[in-house]
Amino acid sequence: MNVRYPNGKLYKQTEAKKSPQEKKQLYSNRGMTLEEDINETNRYYLEQQIAVIHKKPTPVQIVNVNYPKRSAAVIKEAYFKQASTTDYNGVYKGMYIDFEAKETKNKTSFPLQNFHNHQVKHMKDVISQNGVCFVLLRFTSLDEIYYLDAKNLLYFWDRQLNGGRKSIKKEEIDECGHKITLGYQPRIDYINIIDKLYF
Amino acid sequence: MNVRYPNGKLYKQTEAKKSPQEKKQLYSNRGMTLEEDINETNRYYLEQQIAVIHKKPTPVQIVNVNYPKRSAAVIKEAYFKQASTTDYNGVYKGMYIDFEAKETKNKTSFPLQNFHNHQVKHMKDVISQNGVCFVLLRFTSLDEIYYLDAKNLLYFWDRQLNGGRKSIKKEEIDECGHKITLGYQPRIDYINIIDKLYF
């Protein structure tokens, strides 16, 4: 029997296709890191053709590589480099999207030391080119996630440079930011916030 | 004495500030790789606040890392991964910009084997999100560079999949592409092409 929504649209039992084991796995993912949740979200956006957002690879300075016969090249010595940009970028309806994601165990404020000078400089560059730029902040102990526009972050960053506090108060984030409820699919629906802010 | 352009604008002798040695170095860079030329171009765009375009780091699968006391972490074993996207992306006047750069020693055609399935798939994704997507093709023996829209590349790619030739004829690139003359600063002025095509 076909089940329909009140508006007449057919209800597709996509969830029912998953085995109980699969579902259990999915729902037991509560311990996922912010990065894993965002990658999962981006995978969903890509598959559903909603947006094309990728995490940039970790920048590495390669010093020494072995090229063994008949097998893949092995990097034998390399070092982590500091990223010169934010971690995530891509395109949504023609618009350039750029963001960084950070988490804290704090409950009452978000430490600004989570951000580096390079990243803040990059955010300024993106803003001046009219890109959509923001940060996703997770309070892990509270299990709360916020979308904070980069312009707001820059305000708090500059306040710190001028001798102000070294963190953003939770209440300030509540006021300027946009809370994102953790979902099933997509897990962290930041595109929904962009829709509200830009369309 | 101030030298002025015919429109009255002051001519700034920025080049004159460079020492003869510096200039010699700059002009002896003719052997630069396409990647170096593009990085140089992007650095110029960034400094001049024209656009914010970065090369993505090479993706690496890290297997083993040493954490010596009192010094930086050393990656002792890692492997190159195939990129899932193109190499360059960023923002220009709010628009998402995405491209790949490839070179060939051939003189009469550009081999399609230079591109990977992943990259082509990514280009399709970007196009469907209305991003600006293209490839920069250099014929090294001819010292010629072309801007080719990704839609054109996809046409030739699909022709190959349908049993057609495995390369793009030089004449075809001449016809669909846009030749870029190598400049001093910026070296490969692809933003100029975007201006012509989109503004």
Q: Which pLDDT score, from 0 to 100, does residue A8 have?
A: 57
Nearest to B129 among A75, A92, A122 (CB): A92
What's the rounded Cα separation, in Å, for the pair B147 and B161?
23
Residues 6+ apart with CB under 8 A from B150: B99, B123, B126, B127, B133, B134, B135
Q: Is the pLDDT of residue A51 over 80?
A: yes
pLDDT at B111 over 70: yes
Provide the ipTM. Answer: 0.83
pLDDT at B29 over 70: no
* Chain B contacts to A (CB-CB under 8 A): 46, 49, 51-52, 54, 56-60, 62, 72-81, 83-85, 89-98, 122, 125-126, 128-131
Residue among B130, B175, B127, B174 at smallest CA distance from B151 = B127
Asked whether the beta carbons of residue B75 and residue A74 sit closer than 8 angstroms, the reply is: no
What is the structure's pLDDT at B22? 47
What does the pLDDT read at residue A6?
A: 56
Confidence of residue B32 (pLDDT cuts 50, 70, 90): confident
Q: What integer is the mean pLDDT of A133-144?
A: 96
Q: What is the pLDDT of residue A16?
A: 43
Contact call for residues A131 and B91 (beta carbons, < 8 A): yes
Q: Closest Cα of chain A to B3: distance in Å? A: 32
* CA–centroid distance for A112 within its chain: 17
Identify the closest residue of chain A to B75 by CA–CA distance. Answer: A78
The model's confidence at residue A32, banded by pLDDT at 50, 70 and 90, is confident
Radius of gyration of chain A from its Cα atoms, rounded to whole angstroms = 20
- List CB contacts (< 8 A) between A92 and chain B: 129
pLDDT confidence of residue A27: 43
Query: Which residues from B are below 8 Å from A128, CB to CB?
Result: 49
In the beta sheet, which residues pair with residue A54?
Answer: A89
Give mean pLDDT, residues A161-166: 97
Name the residue among A52, A58, A75 with its Cβ closest to that of B129.
A52
Q: What is the pLDDT of residue B4?
A: 61
How many Å apart are CA A24 and CA A34, to the nearest integer? 20
Domain boundaries, chain A: 19-56+84-198
> Mean pLDDT score of chain A, rounded to an integer?
89
Which residue from B81, B92, B122 is facing A129, i.e. has the nearest CB?
A: B92
- Angstroms from A99 CA to nearest CA on chain B: 12
| Stretch B80-86: mean pLDDT | 93
Whether pLDDT at A5 is above 60: no
Provide the 8-state DSSP code for A193.
H
Contact criterion met (CB below 8 Å) for A100 and A38: no
Percentage, residues of chain A above pLDDT 90 = 81
Burial class (CB in 10 A: 0-12, 13-18, 19+), A58: middle
Give the nearest chain A residue to B93 (CA atoms).
A129
Q: Which region among A47-56, A88-97, B23-32, B125-134 has the lowest average model confidence (pLDDT)? A: B23-32
Q: What is the arithmetic mean of pLDDT over A145-174?
A: 98
Return the DSSP state at B68. -
So what's the pLDDT on residue A169?
A: 98
CA distance to A2, A11, A148, B145, per residue, from A8 (Å): 11, 9, 37, 55
Average pLDDT over residues B79-100: 96
Partners of B62 on chain A (C-beta within 8 Å) are 58, 60
Residue B114 per-residue DSSP state:
G
Query: What is the Cα–Cα distance from A81 to A72, expressed in whole angstroms?
Result: 23
Correct CATH for B17-56+84-198 of 3.20.20.150, 3.40.1350.10, 3.30.70.890, 3.50.50.60: 3.40.1350.10
Percentage of chain B with pLDDT > 70?
84
pLDDT at A31 over 90: no
The whole-chain average pLDDT of chain B stands at 89
State the sign of the Cα–Cα–Cα–Cα dihedral B116, B155, B199, B95.
Answer: negative
Q: Which residue of A has its CA nearest to B54?
A: A85
Q: Report percent pLDDT > 90 for chain B.
A: 80
Task: For chain A, report the end-to-end CA distance as a whole number of angstroms.
Answer: 38
Per-residue pLDDT, averaged over A51-70, amounts to: 95
Summarize pLDDT for A148-160 with one digit per residue, the tens: 999 999 999 999 9
What value does the mean pLDDT take over residues A47-56? 98
The answer to whether B181 is annotated as binding is no
From chain B, the residues in CB contact with A194 under 8 A are none
Q: Does B31 score more than 90 pLDDT?
A: no
Chain A partners within 8 Å of B73 (Cβ): 79-80
Q: Which residue of A has its CA nearest to B47?
A: A125
Instruction: Report CB contact under 8 Å: B91, A78.
Output: no
pLDDT value of position B178:
98
Between chain A and chain B, the number of residue pairs with CB atoms below 8 A apart is: 114
User: Residue A96 is nearest to which of B60, B85, B94, comparing CB atoms?
Assistant: B94
For residues A95-114, give the mean pLDDT: 97
Q: Output the CATH code of domain A19-56+84-198.
A: 3.40.1350.10
Residues of A within 8 A of B125 (CB-CB) are 46, 49, 52
**How far apart are alpha carbons A146 and A188 in whole angstroms?**
10
Q: What is the mean pLDDT of residues B167-179?
A: 98
Chain B closest CA to A108's CA: distance in Å? 32
For residue A93, CA distances in Å to A10, A178, B42, B128 come to 27, 21, 24, 8
- Measured between beta carbons, the chain B residues lying within 8 angstroms of A84 are 54
Q: What is the mean pLDDT of residues B77-81?
A: 95
| pLDDT digits 0-9 by tens, A105-118 | 999 999 999 999 99
Q: In which region does residue B94 sit, left (phi positive, over 0), alpha (psi from -120 to 50) or beta (all else)?
A: left
Residue of chain A whose alpha carbon sits nearest to that of B78: A75
Q: Higher confidence at residue B46 or residue A10?
A: B46
Question: C-alpha dihedral over B64, B70, B72, B73, to 10 degrees?
Answer: 10
User: Is 80 exceeded by the pLDDT of residue B94?
Assistant: yes
Q: Residue B178's beta-bridge partner residues?
A: B147
> Which candidate in A64, A66, A75 is best for mutational testing of the B interface (most B CBs within 10 A)?
A75
Got the DSSP string for B131-183?
-EEEEEEEETTTTEEEEEEHHHHHHHHHHHHTT--SEEEHHHHHHHSEEE---
**Which of B76, B80, B131 is nearest residue A91 as measured by Cβ atoms?**
B131
Residue corresponding to tokens 């710190």: A160
